[in-house]
């Protein structure tokens, strides 16, 4: 997380961050300085003879917290083990000079069944992000020209998106069942998202708009995503552009993602250990031995791993992980971009601006203050934008808003964090055929429940909750 060193509000510099896991003083994420945090009040007896716990859940993001809640509520003595000194994983509610922000996962929607159900269950509402229903929509074309879109041009851009996704319902008739139309889906997933831009007769505005949107969805350059993945997002978001946009950038959890995470955790009450990286997970047949980096050995009847795809190879699994999981982890999912908050002087209005191949491919109003605007922007990666450099960020924003004067910055470096090594997960072209069948495969007493491999809204809070709860059900079935 970074506010430019030397800015009035201070913050962590790059060196401080890269050293390891970060707990910023401004963060409102769940944290504890002690290694053991007993969230549990319930005295549940361990059912597996000779073990410390029935279930050990590795990773305290939304997947792990949900899995631990469900396992504990199923009457299993459950331990949640988290490497960082806070829970939340790739969600992180924080404060940016008096404004609540989310450094990681942010937007939820009623098109997302798992997360929406949890918010409803705990009586948590949503707040809106202004830029999702912007009054000003602007395009920056490859030659640098900026166009404030007329209503007709907005329709032109949106129609270009719809044309891009025209085959979606045929290829993915059931977006929660990726291979329902197997041959068509496998064909479409080999195609790079950028290759499908050509031959559709799109206008330059439509090409620029689609490419910028895809770059935001993949959080990288658009070429890193498959055509199938773009259609998956489109369909899950209701199969039309406005609901797709609402699904991905409109509603935030009232009180922050931490509030929702906390509600889930407290409901289950599993025992929780922070600052406890897991080094190895060995399935011995009659029990599993989890070894922490401090050398502590924890025995249990089942393990649920929710460790992110890009970091899973840091753990020694016995028996070894399926080869596809190892290889995908080595290649890494393409979520290698940046989400950057910028506090900007004055009122910029309620805007959204996009431009493929720019350091900031997308920027929008996050909050309109009395004398400032909070802008959130997305970049394809560190080679495009140094998010620690206030001048670079200002230059990048000025390609969208020439008069912008950036006062301060904040972001979190998920890509260099050893416990995430990336932002959100989408699949690269060719991955479904190569790896898909292996992604959710557990073996023996080890179950996988990461949101990076979830069905449906894979790569979101929704899929994390879904994958965590499915893994807990499988572990409970085995132990009961
Ligand atoms: C910048 C950004 C923006 C996003 N925007 C959105 C959005 O708007 N909407 C949305 O729905 N989603 C969004 N996402 C995606 C969403 O946040 C994630 O998909 C989701 O939070 C993943 O949850 P998870 O539990 O599967 O994984 P994680 O949250 O990554 O949790 C895994 C946990 O495992 C821990 N861990 C790793 N290694 C070990 C180890 N060896 N031992 C013990 N613990 C370990 C990690 O510390 C982590 O806490 C965004 C993500 C990012 C980064």
Q: Taking the CA atoms of the chain, what radius of gyration do you get in angstroms?
A: 22
The answer on 286 and 231 residing in a single domain is: no
Of 239, 265, 295, at which residue does a domain stop? 239
Residue 184 lies in a domain: yes
pLDDT tens for the chain, 480 residues long, are 444 333 333 334 343 333 333 333 344 445 533 333 444 445 789 999 999 999 999 999 999 999 999 999 999 999 999 999 999 999 999 999 999 999 999 999 999 999 999 999 999 999 999 989 999 999 999 899 999 999 999 999 999 999 999 999 999 999 999 999 999 999 999 999 999 998 899 999 999 999 999 999 999 999 999 999 999 999 999 999 999 999 999 999 999 999 999 999 999 999 999 999 999 999 999 999 999 999 999 999 999 999 999 999 999 999 999 999 999 999 999 999 999 999 999 999 999 999 989 999 999 999 999 999 999 999 999 999 999 999 999 999 999 999 999 999 999 999 999 999 999 999 999 999 999 888 878 889 999 999 998 889 999 999 999 999 999 999 999 998
DSSP label of 392 = H
**Rounded distance from Cα 258 to ligand 1 centre (Å):** 12
Query: Which is nearest to 102 in space by CA: 252, 303, 320?
Result: 252
**140, part of any domain:** no
Q: Which of 58, 59, 63 best tests ligand 1's pocket when mutated (most atoms within 8 Å of CB)?
A: 59
Residue nearest to atom 20 of ligand 1 (CA): 461
**CB 182 within 8 Å of CB 190:** no
Q: Mark whether 329 and 436 lie in a shared domain.
A: yes
For the chain, the distance separating the N- and C-terminal CA atoms, rounded to the nearest angstrom, is 43
Pocket, ligand 1, Cβ cutoff 6 A: 58-64, 81-84, 89-91, 104-108, 277-278, 306-308, 311, 314-315, 339, 414, 419-420, 423-424, 450-452, 459-462, 464
Query: Which sign does the torsion angle of CA 215, 220, 225, 229 carry?
Result: negative
Number of domains in the chain: 2
Compute the distance from residue 290 Cα to the ligand 1 centre, in Å.
Answer: 21
**Are 269 and 318 within one domain?**
yes
Token pair for residue 104? 């990681």
Decide: helix, strand or coil at residue 9.
Answer: coil
Residues 234 and 263 in one domain: no
Most ligand 1 atoms within 8 A of CB, residue of 460, 468, 469 to mutate: 460
Quick check: is 19 in a domain? no
CATH of residue 176's domain is 1.10.405
Helix ranges (H only) for 148-218 are: 151-164, 168-171, 182-190, 204-218
The closest residue, in CA terms, to atom 49 on ligand 1 is 89
Instruction: Tell me, yes or no, whether 131 lies in a domain.
Output: no
State whether 303 and 440 are in the same domain.
Answer: yes
One domain, residues 179 and 206: yes
Cα atoms in the 13 Å half-sphere on the side-chain side of 206: 19
Bridge partners for 57 per DSSP:
80, 304
Same domain for 324 and 292: yes
| Structural domain span for residue 39 | 33-90+257-333+430-479
Structure tokens at 79: 């331990």
Q: Do 164 and 290 belong to one domain?
A: no
The answer on 264 and 196 residing in a single domain is no
CA–CA distances in Å: residue 352 to residues 6, 195, 245, 292: 29, 26, 12, 46
Which CATH number does the domain housing residue 63 bear? 3.50.50.60
């Amino acid at each position: 997380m970074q506010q430019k060193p030397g800015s009035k509000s201070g913050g962590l510099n790059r060196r401080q961050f890269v050293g390891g896991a970060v707990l910023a003083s401004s963060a409102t994420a769940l944290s504890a300085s002690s290694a053991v945090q007993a969230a549990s009040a319930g005295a549940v007896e361990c059912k597996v003879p000779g073990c410390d716990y029935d279930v050990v859940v590795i990773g305290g993001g939304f997947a792990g917290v949900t899995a631990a809640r469900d396992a504990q509520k199923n009457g299993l003595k459950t331990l949640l083990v988290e490497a960082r000194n806070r829970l939340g994983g790739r969600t992180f509610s924080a404060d940016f000079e008096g404004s609540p922000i989310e450094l990681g996962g942010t937007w939820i929607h009623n098109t997302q069944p798992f997360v929406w159900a949890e918010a409803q269950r705990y009586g948590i509402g949503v707040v809106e992000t202004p830029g999702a229903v912007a009054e000003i929509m602007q395009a920056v074309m490859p030659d640098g020209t900026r166009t404030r879109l007329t209503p007709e041009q907005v329709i032109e851009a949106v129609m270009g998106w719809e044309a891009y996704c025209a085959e979606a319902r045929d290829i993915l008739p059931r977006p929660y069942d990726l291979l329902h139309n197997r041959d068509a889906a496998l064909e479409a997933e080999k195609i790079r998202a950028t290759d499908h831009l050509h031959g559709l007769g799109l206008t330059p505005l439509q090409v620029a708009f689609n490419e910028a949107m895809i770059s935001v969805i993949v959080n990288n350059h658009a070429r890193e995503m498959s055509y199938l993945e773009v259609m998956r997002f489109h369909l899950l978001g209701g199969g039309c552009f406005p609901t797709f946009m609402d699904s991905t950038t409109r509603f935030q959890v009232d009180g922050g993602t931490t509030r929702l995470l906390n509600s889930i955790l407290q409901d289950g009450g599993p025992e929780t250990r922070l600052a406890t990286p897991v080094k190895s997970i060995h399935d011995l047949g009659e029990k599993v031995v989890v070894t922490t980096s401090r050398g502590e050995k924890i025995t249990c009847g089942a393990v649920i791993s929710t460790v992110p795809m890009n970091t899973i190879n840091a753990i020694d699994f016995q028996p070894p992980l399926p080869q596809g999981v190892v290889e995908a982890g080595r290649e890494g999912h393409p979520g290698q971009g940046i989400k950057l908050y910028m506090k900007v002087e004055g009122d910029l209005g309620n805007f959204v601006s996009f431009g493929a191949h720019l350091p900031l491919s997308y920027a929008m109003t996050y909050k309109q203050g009395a004398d400032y605007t909070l802008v959130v922007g997305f970049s394809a990666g560190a080679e495009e934008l140094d998010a620690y450099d206030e001048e670079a960020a200002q230059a990048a924003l000025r390609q969208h808003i020439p008069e912008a004067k950036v006062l301060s910055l904040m972001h979190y470096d998920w890509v260099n964090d050893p416990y995430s090594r990336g932002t959100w997960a989408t699949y690269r072209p060719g991955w479904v055929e190569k790896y898909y069948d292996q992604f959710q495969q557990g073996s023996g007493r080890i179950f996988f429940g990461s949101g990076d491999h979830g069905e449906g809204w894979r790569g979101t809070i929704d899929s994390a909750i879904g994958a965590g709860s499915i893994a807990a059900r499988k572990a409970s079935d085995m132990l009961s």
